[in-house]
Amino acid sequence: MSTTKLLLTLSLMTAFAYVSLVGLMYLAQRVLLYPGASATLAPEHANWGENVSISTPDGETLHGLYSQGESGKPSVLFFLGNADRVGNYGFLAQPLAARGIGLLAISYRGYPGSTGSPSEHGLLTDGIAAFDWLSLRCECEIVVLGQSLGSGVAVNTAGQRPAVAVILVSAYLSVLSLAQTHYPFVPVALLLKDPFRSDLKIAKVRQPKLFIHGRHDEIIPLYSGEALYRTAPEPKQMLIYKSSGHNDVWDDRMVNDVIRFLEARNRDAT
């Protein structure tokens, strides 16, 4: 085989491999973005609070865990990260309950106990449905808390519903920008189905905001959270945990910081 034919063959093989890889990533992108999705049933016995069901306007049913707060106290609406479970947050529900603060954590569509399949449009619909359900159930002030992927759901919800405050943990400018960072060799902007453009929605979130981020976060780098923070309107504050990454950001310090923010806002409101 001549050198020219060899180079042409190698070029074609490389191109084929690249197109195959990109095609595979395109087809599998929602598996990668929503690794916690599962058709399993919700546990019969709640780890904390009570099992609740929330209907969405497009016909899905969401599983959630709910701990009702005391009269006159706010409730937290929690949107989890993409691989998390609602049952994992007893450590948060208990200290909130000790102060009379309620907590609702939802399992997105396609996640354990919930019907449907996850997508950006679906998760944003779930967020609005959960807010509306909670506002009717408790008739209380609602603070929206979103972590990681859930920060995008929280931003969208707070921009469309009268949350009194917002807490964003490990937030991102957009899933699009993160994907472009992690996969620079792929034309992400052309292929991504669920861009979660918090950067385009944060301007509507004029409630008091608390941003929390780990300095060593390798999944959602600190610079992405800082960029969203700079874009966000006042009032806002940001806490950076110098020794934390992405999956170890929750500890007693963070629980206390969240409670301090909630109680300070509640005092200001009264």
The residues assigned a catalytic role are 148, 217, 246
Report the distance separating Cα 113 and Cα 45, nearest Å.
12
Strands across the sheet with 142-147, in order? 50-55, 61-67, 102-107, 75-79, 142-147, 165-169, 209-214, 236-241
Is the distance from CB of 241 to CB of 215 less than 8 angstroms?
yes
* Alpha-carbon span 235 to 229, nearest angstrom: 11
Q: What is the CA radius of gyration of the chain?
A: 21
Q: Omega into 235 within 30° of 0, i.e. cis?
A: yes
